[in-house]
Structure 1
Amino acid sequence: MSLVRIIATALSLLSACAFAQERQVVKLGFSSPLSGPQAAAGKDALNGVQMGIERLNQQNLQLDGKAIRFELLVRDDKASAQEGAAVARELVAAGVRAVLGPFNSGVALSAAKIYNDAGVVALTVASNPKVTQTSLPQVFRIAASDTDMGGKMAFYAARHLKLKRVAIIEDGSPYARGLTDEFERVAKMNGVQLVYKEAVGDKLEEFGAALGAVVAAKADAIFFGGYAPQGSALLRQMQQHGMPIALLGGDALCSSAMLAQAGSALGNRTYCVQGGVWLTRVSDGAVFASAYQGKYGSAPDVYAPTFYDGVLLLWQAMKSANSPDPRVFAPVLARMRYKGVTATYEFNPRHDMTESTVTILRFKDGKLTPLSSF
């Protein structure tokens, strides 16, 4: 009996080894800022990706008769276009099949063609409309574009906040330009007067001159195109200058970094717009938020659920194509429809989402409160 057990154990080990040898590793890349002023946003996105990969790797998935395991290669692009291009070349050389990211529009604009020409699928949340083009069939936007976010925030500002005179301050980045251009266009269409506009650069820390011009122009609100660290500084200085007017911004301001860095300066007059439906308003979103809280000890920030969805979206495309080859599953991804945590993912010919719902939010009593989704 002992000999039989030994033989059985040996056979079992041989079978396990054979299974392990057949297991196929599918490499995915991640590119976002993990250091510098925007590190909090990048780490939140990374948390979402890792949750998605952990979920898939727990399911013993198979493609074309072979067991597969997903492996994530994480890179810090530092929110730099130059660094993002270098990261793209590195991930391509490492053999990734798809990339989650980049996060920033400027980075995406520099990296998109590199991924596309290498046949690697890129799922980005970068909002500048120029990121997605019909000439880049491997690049997909999995969040709302500036056209949706800037335009719908302008519509809300005119119709619901009843604003009449708005100033624009922006950091000069591709993200900010796309966002503010759309805000300005739709605001004017809805009777809002633009009384002041300035690109201050993304390194400016002292807004005194710009705020003085805003006061002189008698603006009843400022629309800020930029990221949370500068937005927080702007809010603090608005408070110091005794400016009780509203501050509006894009999705980059819908961040816990604003709560941490702006403090009491947030008041109840700070608004932002985020792609998708607010997590707690949909059952799947509430489940995700609870799981994220349990794993990381904090609530998910802006794009963790979107990047989580991106991982599962990639798997669904691979599964439908029965292949991890991006040149095979990318055409399937382009025509599929997938319901995720915060959005339904379906793409138009440019590979923008056909359903781009956004949510307008307000900072109130130290937290983000959803006001309207449309």
Structure 2
Amino acid sequence: MLNKRMVSVLLRSLPMLSLLPFSLVCGPAQAAELVVRLGFSSPLSGPQAPAGKDSLNGVQMAIERLNQQGVKVDGKVLRFELLIKDDKANPQTGAVVAKELVDAGVKAVLGPFNSGVALATSKIYNDAGVVSLTVASNPKVTQSALNHVFRIAASDSEMGSKMALYAARNLKLKAVAIVDDGSAYAQGLIEEFQKTVRQNGVQIVYKAAISDKETDFSGVLNNIRAARAEAIFFGGYVSQASGMLKQMQQLGMPTLLLGGDALCSSVMLTQAGTSLGDRTYCVQGGVWLTRVSDGAVFASAYQSKYGSMPDVYAPTFYDGVMLLAQAMKSSNSIDTRNFLPVLARLRYKGITASYEFDAKHDMKESTVTILRFKDGKLAPLSSF
């Protein structure tokens, strides 16, 4: 039996026991676990918040699955943790967020979402030895000197040029207008679109530059109507595109609206309403989710978990986490110096795309899908 002196000694030792590593208190099973901290950077507030939250959902689904699977590296089970940051789609905020994630010791960052933020942060991540997996489409985001930066979606060179080909060959347009919101995203997209439409005999009859805060498009739209443009190619995001569509409806303009992947969002349905009609087209990287078996399974799981269908980039960010896990598993290491070269040469079949990177860490094969809003939903038209 314990005497009073022994009980007293044991009670005094409890605070000390609570400070010991859990593995020493509870045995060797817990010691065989390695924590891998990942970061996430995308807009979680402001007009682009729906896109950021959709992307975050994809990341979290992947992390939950990996933690359930108990992936092992060097004989130890990996436990993935996520540090979430709202970069507000702002390059200055993104730079602050990047430094916070680096200081927190993340191995890799899923994001940024926006080209402007990616251009402001890619060197920060690269210099710190942190891998960045971004969907930012501006071609300047990936450079051979930034070997820690990977683009896991199609670039503007693919999306802008292939939307231009569809406009010329399938829609048989002869005259288009271009509206530029001034963002880094718009810059790359518009450059590729206008180069390719001109090569295919389409005339650009009007160009306008607007602020990304613009809400009154009447002047620009009247000029577009006067120029007899059959379609508007808009380089920008959902909030302005939906406002433009409403004003086009008010003006009685039958003009088509074309855009990049930022417009391939269910948010367009709620914000633009009836003004969408069947005249709005967008282009998205990868094969459309419901056209591949893995995509249908992912969509069903996403809807069960979040109560809605996935939007543009949830499956891509899900794949991004899986890419990292595969690189760590294949290199048998969570040290960036070891898994980075493996990631660079990895071949991985994801939900809607096959991932393999070129020397600049762009995807070697970048299939895109042209979509159209029709009857209250996004309908895939062509993948090439």
What is the deviation of 1:16? 5.1
Count residues with an aligned counterpart. 362
**Which residue identity does 2:279 align to in structure 1?**
R
State the TM-score, normalized to the length of structure 1.
0.96
Separation in 1 of the partners of 2:342 and 2:320? 15
Q: Distance in 1 between matches of 2:106 and 2:193?
A: 37
Tell me which residue corresponds to 2:269: 259
Aligned partner of 1:126 among 123, 136, 143: 136
The CA deviation string for residues 108-128 of structure 1, in whole angstroms up to 9 with x for no partner, is 000000000010000000000
| Residue identity matched to 2:133 | L
Residue equivalent to 1:44 = 54
**Corresponding residue for residue 359 of structure 1:** 369
Aligned match of 1:222? 232
Q: Which residue of 1 aligns with 2:6?
A: none
Q: CA deviation at 1:336?
A: 1.0
What secondary structure sits across from 1:162 in the alignment? coil
Please report how far the alpha carbon of residue 346 of structure 1 lies from its aligned counterpart in structure 2 after TM superposition.
0.2
Note if 1:88 corresponds to 2:88: no
Letter of the 1:144 counterpart: A
Q: Distance in 1 between matches of 2:283 and 2:75?
A: 44
Instruction: Please name the residue that 1:341 is paired with.
Output: 351
* CA–CA distance in structure 2, aligned partners of residues 260 and 327 of structure 1: 45
Give the whole-Å Cα distance in 1 for the aligned partners of 2:262 and 2:136. Answer: 11
Deviations 1:191-229 (A, max 9, x none): 000001111010000001100110110100000000001
Q: For the residues of structure 2 that align with 1:65 and 1:194, how far apart are their CA atoms?
A: 60
Q: Deviations over 1:279-322 (max 9, x none)?
A: 11000000000000000000000000000000001100111111
Task: Please state if 1:282 is matched with 2:292.
Answer: yes
Whether the 8 Å contact between 2:32 and 2:75 is mirrored in structure 1 is no
Asked if 1:111 is matched to 2:121, the reply is yes
Is 1:71 matched up with 2:81?
yes
The CA deviation at 1:14 is: 7.5
1:232-247 to 2 correspondences below 5 Å? 232-247=242-257
Distance in 1 separating the partners of 2:27 and 2:275: 60
Quote the Cα distance in structure 2 between the aligned partners of 1:17 and 1:241: 73
In 2, Cα distance between equivalents of 1:326 and 1:168:
43
Q: CA deviation at 1:278?
A: 0.2
1:101 paired to 2:111: yes
Q: Deviations over 1:233-270 (max 9, x none)?
A: 01101101100011000000000110010000000010
Q: Percent identity?
A: 72
Match of 1:307 among 313, 317, 320: 317
Question: How far, CA to CA, are the matches of 1:309 and 1:118 in structure 2?
Answer: 23
Counterpart Cα distance in 1 of 2:224 and 2:125: 42
In the TM superposition, what are the counterparts of 1:115-264 in structure 2 within 5 Å?
Answer: 115-264=125-274
**What is the one-letter code of the residue matched to 1:128?**
N
Matched, 1:33 2:4: no
Residue by residue over 1:98-153, the C-alpha shift from the partner in whole angstroms, topping out at 9 and shown as x without a partner, is 00000000000000000000100000000000000000000000000000000000
Instruction: Say which is worse superposed, 344-353 or 22-31, in terms of deviation.
Output: 22-31
Where do 4+ consecutive residues of structure 1 move more than 3 Å?
Answer: 13-17
Partner SS, residue 58 of structure 1: helix
Cα deviation, residue 15, structure 1: 8.9
Asked if structure 1 preserves the Cα contact closer than 8 Å seen for 2:130 and 2:336, the reply is yes
Distance of 2:144 and 2:24 partners within structure 1: 49
Aligned partner of 1:5 in structure 2 is none
Could you tell which deviates more after superposition, 56-65 or 247-256?
A: 56-65
Considering only aligned residues, what root-mean-square deviation do their CA atoms show, in Å? Answer: 1.0
Of residues 29, 45, 48 in structure 2, which corresponds to 1:19? 29
